[in-house]
Amino acid sequence: MSTDATTRRTRKRTRRFRAFAVAFTAVAAILAVVGLAGATANVVQGPRVTGVQVDPAAAAASSGARLIVTTSQPLAEVDPSQVTITPATPFAVDTSGRSVGVRFTLPLWDDTEYKVVFAGVTGAGAGPAATITETFRTPPAEVFLLQRSGGDDAIFRTDLTGEQARPVFRHPHIEDYRATSSHLVMSVRTDDDEAQLIVTDLDGKNERTLKLPGEGFVSNLQTADRGELIGYTFSDEDLSHDGGRESTLFVASTNDSEADAQPRAVEVAGADARVSEYQFVPDSDSLLLLSFDGSLLLTSGADAAAAPTALGFAFGIDGIARGTSAAVVMRPEARAVIDLNDASEEPLVAAAGKGLITSVTPLTTGGTVRASAELDGASGQPTGRTIVGFVGDDGATRPLMDVPNTDAVLQTCVSPSERYVAVLVAPDAVSNGYDTYLLPLPRKVETHILNLSDGSEVVALAGSSISWCQVPPG
């Protein structure tokens, strides 16, 4: 090969390399300018939303749901004063990296549009502030109800109009049921008059049975607010003076992975083993129980070895406000409110006006819903009428429902969001006889759903044991 040819090729390669280098440098410069412009725009515009996570159905079903907003840059800490939620609801705020979230501390209202505004949001490196606005709508509410009949009993799922009611589970003899976040749990009696606990999905599918401690009787079925934990009291069928379990409290899980697990007895040292009443403490694994000897005890539902906390004597447990540690109990002298965190206690606020209290439901947002038997002003004797009302923390009373003396109030419950009150009524109580179940109910019952804000009736549904209730009727 000649020297001239070699020289020409070398010059050609050099020119190509120089062209590539110039082009590469130009592209790199353009990218740098674009990147700088993007970064500058980020700083100039403030944080921009790049993603939103929220589950409206979960937010309406239970407390603790979150709305999480992810932005284009790391954020400075967002203070709760920068957040506005409409309609107003309790919340907590947390900031982490490029995300800011709100946790709803109460279930949200059903079929409602919520607007969440984060004002004055800035990047971690300062720069301009941005206002972030997100909206979402919760779905309409659905509830479960028990209907007993001369044929098969049924659990119905319905909206709050009653027009979309549909049976999801049928059985010849349903004593009681409860709904968890994922399952229905039915306490039934078989054709051989044996107790069974049947678990299904919320649509009534994938039926299976839970193991019981033995042959006997199940009562006082309840569910915890969290997880898939249930509780019930159990008595042996062959109970006699010689021994046997009577009203022993058991806990079990409805999770599919624990279907074959044995239920665990809740044994409390130093007290009568028989349990007359109990309730799960919200947002914990604890149980508040009342033994046959009147001992009020706070114990663990998960740790059998944990020592219980003795809380004195009581005649009954009215309820525990969802999401709180405030329990209303009946002391020998009067009703009291106990803080289960530190065992401090204060009297239940007296309501304006006269009436004999028959039930108290404490509310997370303050105040209580009470059912009271009206007293005659002259004689002081009950007139037969029942007044269901809201009693504020100052004792001011707002009537919600006036039940005539021909009817009987069997139970009052509040929806998880505390938007509604459900009142279970037996109409024509004198002629409305009870059935012969272990948990007897009048043959005709009505569940009246009221707006807590003003007492206006939303709907009256045939059936009992609305899934908002944490304990059985009676």
Spell out the per-residue pLDDT of the chain, length 474, in tens: 454 544 455 455 555 545 545 454 544 444 444 444 444 444 456 899 999 999 999 999 888 899 999 999 999 999 999 999 999 999 999 999 999 999 998 899 999 999 999 999 999 987 899 999 999 999 999 999 999 987 899 999 999 999 989 999 999 999 999 999 899 999 999 999 999 999 999 999 999 999 999 999 999 999 987 778 899 999 999 877 666 889 999 999 998 666 678 899 998 877 888 999 999 998 887 899 999 999 999 998 766 567 789 999 999 999 999 888 899 999 999 999 999 999 999 999 999 877 899 999 999 989 999 999 998 878 888 888 999 999 999 999 999 999 999 999 999 999 999 999 999 999 999 999 999 999 999 999 999 999 999 999 999 999 999 999 989 997
The pLDDT assigned to 30 comes to 44
Residue 24, amino acid:
F
Cβ–Cβ under 8 Å, residues 125 and 141: no
- What is the rounded CA–CA span in Å between residue 463 and residue 159? 14
The sign of the dihedral angle between the CA atoms of 233, 360, 223, 279 is negative
Peptide bond into 332 cis (omega under 30): no
Which residues lie below 8 Å from residue 310, measured CB to CB, with a gap of 6+? 270, 295, 296, 297
- Report the DSSP beta bridge partners of residue 249: 233
- What is the rounded CA–CA span in Å between residue 72 and residue 95? 14
Q: How far out from the chain centre does Cα 82 lie?
A: 27
Helix (H) or strand (E) holding 62: none
Which residues lie below 8 Å from residue 374, measured CB to CB, with a gap of 6+? 355, 382, 383, 384, 385, 386, 387
CA angle centred on 107, ends 357 and 64, rounded to 5°? 120
The pLDDT assigned to 214 comes to 93
Which position has the token pair 């009524």?
Answer: 425
Cβ–Cβ under 8 Å, residues 113 and 123: no
b (16+ CB within 10 A) / e for 247-276: bbbbbbbbeeeeeeeebeebebeebebebb
Residue 427: both structure tokens together: 């109409």
Residue 204: both structure tokens together: 């009534």
The pLDDT assigned to 42 comes to 46
Q: How far is CA 119 from CA 122, 258, 404, 433, in A?
A: 9, 46, 51, 60
The pLDDT assigned to 28 comes to 45
Q: How far out from the chain centre does Cα 158 lie?
A: 18
